[in-house]
């Protein structure tokens, strides 16, 4: 995106004040969900629906890779004891760790629900769909975070993740369906 792209994005989102000084990198809850939703909408305006979705996915992946993977429970993922667990356990624990981080350190209350062949990552309040109405799901940054979390906890496996319910489309929660088996791997 570069500096010019970032400046344009902040202008479209009506967040020009961040051009001179970004929000502080701390654990205070000082970045409003409305601002995150505005950035999400600005990506779509700037790059179109498909391009904005792709950028949001990459931003979510980088957010996890650059910050969340070294946060609290996620640090244990690199331990030999964790790496020796079966893949389904690592996936389950990784998603639960991500949900715990978001619940405890942001206003995004999240949980995991288990199905036979899938896990559901549930966000009661999503910053990406905050105050929005849309025909299709809009929480692509969250999908990116989940994808990167799964790659990190599974030691490189790819998983199919899709938002099946979105607050912006009229649902009470944002729900992300995660197949329990990795792409190319048979169900256990």
pLDDT (tens digit, 9 = 90+) per residue, 82-132?
888 898 899 999 999 999 989 988 888 999 999 988 999 999 989 999 999
pLDDT at 20 (0 to 100): 83
Copy the structure tokens of residue 136. 């299709």
pLDDT at 188 (0 to 100): 45
Q: Where are the domains of the chain?
A: 2-179
Identify whether the C-beta of residue 146 lies closer than 8 Å to the C-beta of residue 102.
no
- Averaged over 52-81, what is the pLDDT? 82
DSSP 55-84: HHHHHHHHHHHHTGGGSGGGGGGGSHHHHT
| 72 vs 130: which has the higher pLDDT | 130
pLDDT digits (tens, 9 = 90+) for 127-139: 999 999 999 999 9
pLDDT at 72 (0 to 100): 66
- Averaged over 14-33, what is the pLDDT? 79
Identify whether the C-beta of residue 130 lies closer than 8 Å to the C-beta of residue 37.
yes
| 151 vs 75: which has the higher pLDDT | 151
pLDDT at 81 (0 to 100): 83
Count CA within 13 A, CB hemisphere, residue 163: 26
pLDDT at 60 (0 to 100): 93
CA pair distance 14, 8, nearest whole angstrom: 10
Where is average pLDDT lowest: 57-61, 79-83, 97-101, 145-149?
A: 79-83
Q: Does domain 2-179 have CATH number 3.90.1520.10?
A: yes
pLDDT at 186 (0 to 100): 56
- Averaged over 158-174, what is the pLDDT? 95
Confidence of residue 18 (pLDDT cuts 50, 70, 90): confident
Hey, what's the torsion of the CAs at 108, 38, 168, 145, to 10 degrees? Answer: -50
pLDDT at 133 (0 to 100): 92
Give 68's contacts (C-beta < 8 A, 6+ positions apart): 74, 98, 101, 145, 149
């Amino acid at each position: 995106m570069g500096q010019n792209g970032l400046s344009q994005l902040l202008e479209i989102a009506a967040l020009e004040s961040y051009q001179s000084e970004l929000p502080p990198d701390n654990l205070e809850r000082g970045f409003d969900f409305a601002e995150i939703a505005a950035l999400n909408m600005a990506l779509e305006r700037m790059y179109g629906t498909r391009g904005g979705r792709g950028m949001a996915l990459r931003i979510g992946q980088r957010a996890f890779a650059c910050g969340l993977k070294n946060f609290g429970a996620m640090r244990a993922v690199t331990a030999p004891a964790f790496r020796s667990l079966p893949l389904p356990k690592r996936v389950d624990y990784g998603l639960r760790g991500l949900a715990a981080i978001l619940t405890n350190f942001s206003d995004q209350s999240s949980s995991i629900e288990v199905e036979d062949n899938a896990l559901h990552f549930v966000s009661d309040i999503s910053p990406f769909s905050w105050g929005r109405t849309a025909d299709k799901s809009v929480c692509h940054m969250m999908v990116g975070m989940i994808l990167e979390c799964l790659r990190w906890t599974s030691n490189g496996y790819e998983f199919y993740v899709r938002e099946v319910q979105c607050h912006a489309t009229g649902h009470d929660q944002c729900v992300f369906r995660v197949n329990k088996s990795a792409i190319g791997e048979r169900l256990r």
